[in-house]
Structure formats: C-alpha cells, structure tokens
Amino acid sequence: MEINIREEQKIVDVWLTSAEGKDIDLTGLYEKFGSRGYLVAVFRSGGEELAGVTASLLLYNRKKSAGC
C-alpha cells in the first residue's frame, strides 16, 4: 500500500495491490481525512488488461458526454 497526502490540493491518494484491495479496511482513513475536508481517492489493481478496460471507459465517457 502506498498513501500520498497532498496538503495543497487536500487530496489523499491510496494505491493498493489486488491482494490488499480485498483485505484492507480504509474506514479510519476516510474518517480522519474526510472530516478535515480532504478527498480520499483509492486506486486498486485489477486482474484485467489495462488497455482494454481503459478504452471501454473512455468510450463510455464519450457516449455519456454526447448524451447517448
């Protein structure tokens, strides 16, 4: 697990491996930083092929923004 706290932007980003993503409870982290006005962003590794899921996400967002 890697936690980066960006004071100026009031953002906390958390990077988890796929194994950590299944077993870790981040409730305390959300409470600690959320109460101070921080956005907590959690990134979890997955088991899928990155290029394919990224392309699907971009296509979805494009259709959504076009009102389809």
Q: In whole angstroms, what is the distance from residue 18 CA to residue 14 CA?
A: 13
Which residues does 51 contact at the CB level (< 8 Å), separation at least 6? none
Supply the range of the domain harboring residue 29.
2-65
pLDDT, residue 22, reads 80
How confident is the prediction along the chain (68 residues), in pLDDT tens digits per residue?
Answer: 999 999 999 999 999 998 888 888 999 999 999 999 999 999 988 888 889 889 999 999 999 888 76
Using alpha carbons only, give the angle 8, 25, 4 rounded to the nearest 5 degrees: 25
pLDDT, residue 18, reads 84
* Number of folded domains that form the chain: 1
